Amino acid sequence: MSGQEIVGTARRTIQQLRSLGAWDEGHEYITGLPEVVRSHKQVIIEAAQLYLMQGHYARAWDMCEPTHKRLSSLATLQEPLRRELNAETICLWLLSAYISISRHGKIATALDLADRLRDLVADDVFTQRVQSSTSADLASKGVGHTDFTEHTLSAPIMETRAAAHCRGCHGVSEIRILIQFWLWKILLCAAEQGFLDEVPTKREAASKLDEIRLWTLEHDRLREARYITYAQIGLLKDTESDMECLRQLLASVRNSPAMKVEEAQTHLDLARCLLNLERDVADPTVSEHLNRAATLFTEVRHTYGMLDLKDMQLTQIRGSLILEEFLKRKIELGDAYFEKHCYQQGIKCLIFAIPVSHELGHVQDETTKMIEHAQKEIRKVGATFQEQALFVCAVAQTLVRAPEYGYGRKSLEDYLSRLPEETGPIIEVQLRTSMSMASANSGNTDEAARQAEMAFEAALKTPSYDERSAAAFLLAVSRIRQATALGNKSVAMLALSNASILLRLWASLDKVMGCHIQAADKFAWLASVELQANMLVGDELALERLDRWLDEARQISNIHDIVSEKVYEMEILRAARLQDYDTPVRIARERLDVAKAVSASSHFHRAQHSTQLSICLYRRFCARARTMGQLSANQRETVAKDYSESIQQANEAYSLYSKAGGSEMIITSLNYLFDLLSEFPFDNMVDILKSWLEEATKIENFCDAMRRSVAMTFNVQSLLEKRMIISGKQYRKLYDNAFEACKKIDDAAAAWLWVQKSKARSLSDVFGIRAVLPVSLLASIQADSGAYALFEKERLLGAAALEKGPLEYLNARRLTEEVQVLMKEHPLLRQVLDLREGAFNIGFSQEALSESLALSGATSEDIKYVEWYVPHETSSETKIILLVRALDGSTIMRELSITTGSIESWIKRRLVYPREARAPLGESSARARLRELAPLVSDLGQLTTEEDLLILSPSGVLNCLPIHALPVGDKTLIERNPIVYSSNSAIFGHAQMRAVSQATNPSHPTERASLLSVYESDGIQGRAERDAIYKHANEVSKMMAFHIRTGDEASKSSFKEAASSSDWIHYHGHALFDKRDVLRSCLVLAGGLEEAQASADTTHLSATEASNASRNLTVADIFEVDMHVSAPHVTVMACDSGTQDIAAGNEPLGIIPALLYAGATSVVGALWPVESAAARRFSELFYSHLRVQRDASPRKKVMVLNLAQALRSSVCEMMRRENVDTKVPLHWAPYVLYGCWFRGFQPSSTAECSKFMGGSTEFAMSPEGTL
């Protein structure tokens, strides 16, 4: 045989195997060919198309490797080298470029090549539809047949009428047709990804491919006709036109022995078209096509044709199957595809079946399997492009599911931060749109607007007007949401102004471009902007503009027969503004009826309409209720029906939103339902409110899971993300409503629990990552091989998840959850999870504190948790609620006479004053000023007993008050009781667990204590202050064996070293509280005073960047410190060291919360700027009282020091009237203790105990600090 004959035989064999889907045989045959044959361009083209059709992109890429290298070298030239051009080369270049899209996402590169070759391969032979001369035929060397389509198959190549005719068609070879095919495949792919304008590109492609299709049919080139037809159908979304093309093809191939596969696929496509026209599977015509396709596939023993048929049938009956059954069948079908090594169809089968639902329930396992299985096969075959599609589907699913929201969002953030170089603008727009909507759903309107802005920038890179218009609309809506969330009216108006400019511009452009639906919506939203402007600042002209925009929207809708829900919504609002309450009810009811009548109407749509009708009914009820006394009995009954139906519709909306998903709307609807229910009393109000609380508990668990799902990292970022999730207005309102419901049904214990759920949950979440396991528990786990194996597996999976790529991270987190489910079934490991998630346990019970009670010698009757509840939305007349809870769960609730307005006024008068002025609490009348706040604590005289340990948990504005300094009867609270503060009960409980673990760990260090102090002022007073601090260091070291670091030794690195190895840390120096960015708040260390004073100059840096560049220890730095092994007590004698930024949800952030997170068991700090002399006096007294405790304690294995008692004794001594220097509250009232009330240690001998509590020590003297 000649060389040409050998090549021809190889081509025909590959074509035959490809047509039957015999992938393994095809691969074996290709790899077995001699190199000289396998490297022939015609063979490469056939083999690459076989691998493409199979979906094995890695093999297709490898097959064309020499071509890729050549194309890379040509990429630097302005145009290809013409001397290389011939039909086979051009075809191979285009094919290789398309493979690079699938394999590596190189769309821009492929498009560049297509653009350079497009003019060279322009061919009007198909337009003429007549035989043309061969003189200018670029494909003069092309012979025989080849074809490719990602879906359509060829029949076995043999000497047939079509093949003979092909050679007789005056040199118009199949290579020449393939050139056009691959050229348009590249252009269409680029258009779909936003590199070209999609609509005109598809229109041009449809026209050109139709010319080629008709030419191939006219010249009996049926195999080429089949794959050209496949490429053409669907481009214009004209099903009738597509069916006509398929009928023409079917008429040509019907009953041809050589064209059975083409006939089968055409029957299948015709059935699919009929189903798209809403024909039923049982329709006779559909059944005829399906039966004929099945017969033909069976006759030729096609590898996967019957699977294609089953996939189409399964998709069609999806609505009649429960989701679990549908997913199981899809997984089985995918497995069947992969078993036959049909990767392309199998991957598509799985990807497009991934459900998007906020509550997958028992189908979560199937969904996880689908994603993991698809990813596994994608990685096997190198389908980068499909991996991108899978990622979009997977993230879309996780962003609406509470348990996966956090790490789904992290994956998306990571992916967006490193988008592949040639990612299409359309994909970027989709990803950033998802991110924007997810951010809006979690209440982060600023991030939603930022992502919407980047989506708009990406959309501007596309030639698609629709994409740009949609992105502009998203940006405008995000600005409107931003304005709604902003508290500053001027900033909110600026956001509304930006939204208005965007909407006006793009609405006008929409009209010009003939995008009437988009224009109507934008004009309606413009009306909404004007309404908000009127409500925000009372702009009366805004109402005139509202009418103008709404009239414009209504006119467009009427002319073009458009249904715009936003137009109807604004019509309702306009009528209500005119005090016409019947029209809104009529419109809303009509819209709801329409939604119910449409079978395809989503739960979300129907919920919107039910909510709208409920609101309209309630407004009408309120308007008519004002004249209730003037109405007849029948009229009053009619009015009451409005109220009743309003509640029914609100309840229906909540039910539908719960099914549809989306936390924001579910919470909003539940809050609205509460507002309606609490408006008027019902006979069965208690039962109704209990039912409402059950629903509130469900949705709170949902939101709790969403917040907790945020990736736990050893820094402040996860905390900030969690804080943002719970900052939404509706989220906060849910907790306030739940508290009010508990109050109405007189359930104080439940009210207390809801308060704990609403406070500092983000901070308590991140405490779980630093959970310390008791030594005894860890030893028991290590002794159980099965338990230890699970324990290690979960630990390694959790750690590895943070290092994974976006899609792998999703799967790693799911695997971690699966292991945790198994851990919960093991008693020992369940304790681990309970301890690690102890921060989530808001219970305050004897069981939870049993070890702390036993260790400290306290009894359960001696401890009370005191909570002050302040609603998130307050007015000057809002009264504060006091709750006192005992360890047995009994809770007493009292409404206090004092209001938030009076407290805010007190703070402005007593705690806010010019730097040069005398502090009001330093005046002789200061105690009288504190008595003004006595109503906050006066009831504690009845509700608690003297000497009870009180855990004080203030809310909102109360956090900056020295509540312990307020009078109860003839004593201050701290004189009456030992005091410890806590942000919430979960954090308090976690601190106790940490303290017990530290105290009972035999390997825990006991002799190491560190003191750091910095003071860098010069001059006479500065030197005198330094001398005083040196003396103070000497005195304190006699009471506690401190290793002292002063001056240059007190650096950031030395603090971190001390933090990781010291049992006790004392800092004396400056602290800076940054109101603009609390993460920049810091402890001033060596060389950092000037930097701290000039911190305003670094506002251009992020908190992380600023902390990295700083010599001082910022709050962001402290979050990075690891103290969980040493678990020290920390005393911070510095100005404002106890000051905290309290964000929405009573989320604290500052030096004390950061130290507790880092691993401290307890922290003493100051609520306001303190004088250095007073701080030194407090420290001396504090350590002196601790030493007295030690000397009075019997020698035991674990010695316990009562920190709360020591602080109490120190403050009481300072406040005595004979102590002239410290008797005013300014000097004794700022000191607060957070965390655990005791400190335990295990001295192995009396000598060691003596050393720890005041033996000799070495310390160096350097310039040192004041406060």
Determine the Cα–Cα distance for residues 980 and 1164; give it in Å rounded to an integer.
Answer: 10
Looking at per-residue pLDDT, the higher value among 1123 and 150 belongs to: 1123
The pLDDT of 487-508, averaged and rounded, is 91
Print the SS3 string covering 367-387: HHHHHHHHHHHHHHHCCHHHH
Q: What is the reported pLDDT for 303? A: 92
| Other Cβ atoms within 10 Å of 89 Cβ, number | 16
- Grouping H, G, I as helix, E, B as strand and the rest as coil, residue 1011 is strand
Contact criterion met (CB below 8 Å) for 660 and 675: no
Contact criterion met (CB below 8 Å) for 722 and 704: no
Print the SS3 string covering 171-239: CCCHHHHHHHHHHHHHHHHHHHCCCCCHHHHHHHHHHHHHHHHHHHHHCCCHHHHHHHHHHHCCCCCCH
> What's the predicted TM-score (pTM) here?
0.73
pLDDT-based confidence at residue 1089 (cuts at 50, 70, 90) = confident
Residue 1149 is encoded by which pair of tokens? Answer: 């952030």
Mean pLDDT, all residues of the chain: 82
Q: What is the reported pLDDT for 627? A: 77
Question: Which range is least confidently modeled, 470-484, 1182-1196, 1202-1216?
Answer: 1182-1196
The pLDDT of 1158-1172, averaged and rounded, is 92
pLDDT-based confidence at residue 661 (cuts at 50, 70, 90) = low
Q: What is the reported pLDDT for 131? A: 33
Res 136 pLDDT > 60: no
Res 790 pLDDT > 90: no
- Tell me: the pLDDT tens digits for 849-880? 888 898 888 999 999 999 999 988 778 889 99
Q: What is the reported pLDDT for 1214? A: 95
Residue 398 is encoded by which pair of tokens? Answer: 């996780």
Looking at per-residue pLDDT, the higher value among 1029 and 1063 belongs to: 1063
Determine the Cα–Cα distance for residues 1127 and 995; give it in Å rounded to an integer.
Answer: 7
Indicate the helix (H) or strand (E) that contains 1159. Answer: none
Looking at per-residue pLDDT, the higher value among 232 and 814 belongs to: 232
pLDDT-based confidence at residue 953 (cuts at 50, 70, 90) = very high
Most confident option among 138-142, 355-359, 1152-1156: 1152-1156
Q: Read out DSSP for 824-888?
A: TTSHHHHHHHHHHTGGG-----TTTTHHHHHHHT--GGGEEEEEEE--SS--TTPEEEEEEEETT
Residue 947 is encoded by which pair of tokens? Answer: 């000497």
- Tell me: the pLDDT tens digits for 322-380? 878 888 999 999 999 999 999 999 999 988 887 765 444 556 667 777 877 888 898 89
Determine the Cα–Cα distance for residues 444 and 721; give it in Å rounded to an integer.
Answer: 9
The pLDDT of 519-534, averaged and rounded, is 93
Q: Read out DSSP for 541-555?
A: HHHHHHHHHHHHHHH
| Other Cβ atoms within 10 Å of 704 Cβ, number | 16
Residue 1101 is encoded by which pair of tokens? Answer: 């840096």
Closest CA to 825 of 781, 787, 774, 768: 787
CATH number of 978-1252: 3.40.50.1460
Q: What is the reported pLDDT for 1247? A: 46
Contact criterion met (CB below 8 Å) for 1113 and 1087: no
Question: What ranges make up the beta strands (E) of 1098-1230?
Answer: 1113-1114, 1129-1133, 1140-1143, 1147-1150, 1162-1166, 1199-1202
Residue 713 is encoded by which pair of tokens? Answer: 């990292």
Q: What is the reported pLDDT for 308? A: 94
pLDDT-based confidence at residue 144 (cuts at 50, 70, 90) = very low
Res 839 pLDDT > 50: no
Determine the Cα–Cα distance for residues 922 and 898; give it in Å rounded to an integer.
Answer: 24
Contact criterion met (CB below 8 Å) for 221 and 166: yes
pLDDT-based confidence at residue 512 (cuts at 50, 70, 90) = very high
Res 623 pLDDT > 70: yes
Q: What is the reported pLDDT for 578? A: 83
- Tell me: the pLDDT tens digits for 406-462? 556 766 777 787 777 888 899 899 889 988 887 887 677 888 999 999 999 999 998
Question: Which range is least confidently modeled, 844-848, 967-971, 1141-1145?
Answer: 1141-1145
Task: Indicate the domain borders of the chain.
Answer: 1-132+141-237, 240-316, 436-575, 579-660, 786-836, 978-1252
